[in-house]
Amino acid sequence: MSAWSELASQRLPRSEGPWAWLAAGSVALSLLMLGGLLLLIAVRGLGHFWPAGVVQLELEDGRALAGRVVRELPLEQGERERLYYTANRDLDGQVWHWLAVSDIVASERPRDLLVLERRFHGEFIGRLVEVGSVDFPDPTSTATADWNALQASLAELQALRSERDRLRREQLRPLIQQLDADPRDAQARRELAAVNERVRALQHAMQGKVAILESADGRRLVQPLDEILRAWRPNAMTTGEKLTAWARGVWRFLSEGPRDGNTAGGVWPAIFGTVLMVLLMSLLVAPFGVLAAVYLNEVAHQGRLTNLVRISVRNLAGVPSIVYGVFGLGVFVYGVGGSLDEWFFSDELPSPTFGTGGLLWASLTLALLTLPVVIVATEEGLARIPVQQREGALALGATRFETLTRVILPMTVPAMLTGVILAIARAAGEVAPLMLVGVAKLAPQVPVDAEFPFLHLERKFMHLGYHIYDTAFHGNDVQAALPLVYATALLLIGVILVLNLTAIFLRHYFRTRHGYVPRQ
């Protein structure tokens, strides 16, 4: 008997027949599928940030191309086809090229191939010819590529940029505020003009340099340095450098706003919007859910009507989420929001303030959506409290209210948090209702800032789930957006995980405080 079969026979006695194997098999299958899905999302999502090498190709028909291999598919008769990302939208008009492998005559990885991430027209793949002044660009220059000069110029540019931002932040803004307070302050006015002049000078200096670039097929391009976000030579990078670049890429994805119609850049506003919306939702749903459960379980007469309400609440959990979205749009946005606008923001009309989708309405709608979950979890928690605890408190002269608030509710906190965890898990992944009540494709302003009242509940916000949907189906370049979709999906899973873990740790804290362990 082998060790394996010995182990198997120990764990699964013969007498249990095929059922044990069936059960174990389905668990294994579920785990496998789940793990596979997570792995796919993680690999595709995180792989996007890896500075992959670029190849220079020579084709049978004499064309030359440079780009990254994206994927390879088999064609008929053993032929294979590869998808190359060649960038250079401003030169070629298209950035994706399907090429038959047999058409490729030569393929090499020259170290001087350069990749630029630019503010306009996406990436550039090619060679650097010269870094020159904007006034006399010489597109016919024969100078050799000077990578170090480009790096130095970019660093110089970055220094200018941060100096400008510092001036704006530290001098311009206080002066403008001062002038707002007293428009006749001549001294401030003069200072403002001086600072403005310096900012303008800095900006002029920033626009002063261009790079002359050459694509793989020899066409040239004058690229203002100011529009270059990053430059790298993937074929010349060591693994360590690539790892650093990868980490920086991930960080930029997490900390920056989206660019190019959501097909590039980061998702920070969406992370912020998702977390803020879920937190607001939890703040709204927890008190209402707990109060409702307390009423149903502790106050209401336990009769047929209470049971009917209970069953209805459980059934509400099964209503499609889009129905909640429509309800939120009709009642919260148009009904409540419209009235608020008429009463308090009438001078802004006809442009709506609260009468349009926003953070508050989205949170309220999701709170409504997740209310049954919290009610059910809290009710079950209340029902689990041993009757001796109640009687113990009552026998000490506590009123029913004191018993509830001092003994029963503290003991029910873990169950309430279980409800909130389930609510978070459901709400954070919900997209359909949000599309009706306040999510935006692009809302670079996060709903929290330094401006009174700091939390802007009426603002539209970005959401990771909606961002996935938008990038995947509404972008102008689906191929470019695809890795971002995977990355965003991974991030959404991560955000939900973090939110849930927070709640789970909180629950654990409340459970173990004073060593309370439910008795068998």
Partner 1 sequence: MRSTLPISIPSRFQPAASGSIIDFPAEASCFQVEALSLAYGGKPALQEISLRVPRHRVTAFIGPSGCGKSTLLRALNRLHDLNENVSHEGRILLEGQDIHAPEVAVDELRRRVGMVFQVPNPFPMSIYENVAFGLRLQGGLTRRRMDDIVEWALQAAALWDEVKDRLRASAWSLSGGQQQRLVIARSLAVRPEVLLLDEPASALDPISTLKIEELIRGLKSQLTLILVTHNMQQAARVSDYTAFLQEGELVEYAPTDILFTNPTLRRTENYITGRMA
Contact footprint for partner 1 (CB under 8 A):
301, 386, 388-399, 402, 406-407, 410-411, 513-517
CB of 339 to partner 1, least distance (A): 43
Cα 478 from Cα 350, distance rounded (Å): 37
CB of 482 to partner 1, least distance (A): 52
Q: By C-beta, is 181 or 395 nearer to partner 1?
A: 395
CB of 514 to partner 1, least distance (A): 4
Asked, as a colleague might, if the bond just before 453 is cis with ω within 30 of 0, I would say yes
Cα 180 from Cα 192, distance rounded (Å): 12
Answer for the pair 215, 20: CB distance below 8 angstroms, yes or no. Answer: no
CB of 401 to partner 1, least distance (A): 10
Q: By C-beta, is 224 or 410 nearer to partner 1?
A: 410
The answer for residues whose C-beta is within 8 angstroms of residue 315's C-beta and 6 or more apart is none
Q: By C-beta, is 281 or 393 nearer to partner 1?
A: 393
Q: By C-beta, is 189 or 390 nearer to partner 1?
A: 390
Q: By C-beta, is 333 or 415 nearer to partner 1?
A: 415
CB of 384 to partner 1, least distance (A): 13
CB of 415 to partner 1, least distance (A): 13
Q: By C-beta, is 98 or 516 nearer to partner 1?
A: 516
Q: By C-beta, is 54 or 393 nearer to partner 1?
A: 393
30-41 burial, b at 16+ Cβ within 10 Å, e below that, comes to eeeeeeeeeeeb
Q: What is the chain's percent helix, strand, coil content, to nearest 5?
A: 60, 15, 25
Cα 334 from Cα 328, distance rounded (Å): 9
Residue tagged 């607001």 (tokens):
280
Dihedral, CA of residue 317, residue 502, residue 288 and residue 383, to nearest 10: 70
Selection from 482, 494, 499, 487 nearest residue 424 by Cα: 499
Concatenated DSSP letters for 49-114? TS----EEEEETTS-EEEEEEEEEEE-STT-EEEEEE---HHHHS--EEEEEGGGEEEEE--TT-E
CB of 307 to partner 1, least distance (A): 15
Cα 377 from Cα 308, distance rounded (Å): 17
CB of 400 to partner 1, least distance (A): 8
Strand blocks (E) in 250-409: 258-259, 264-265
Q: By C-beta, is 199 or 398 nearer to partner 1?
A: 398
Q: By C-beta, is 47 or 386 nearer to partner 1?
A: 386
CB of 394 to partner 1, least distance (A): 6
Cα 431 from Cα 319, distance rounded (Å): 15
**Distance set, CA 150 to CA 128, 147, 204, 226, 277 (Å):** 8, 5, 18, 12, 43
Task: Give me the phi and psi of 228, to 5 degrees please.
Answer: -85, 125
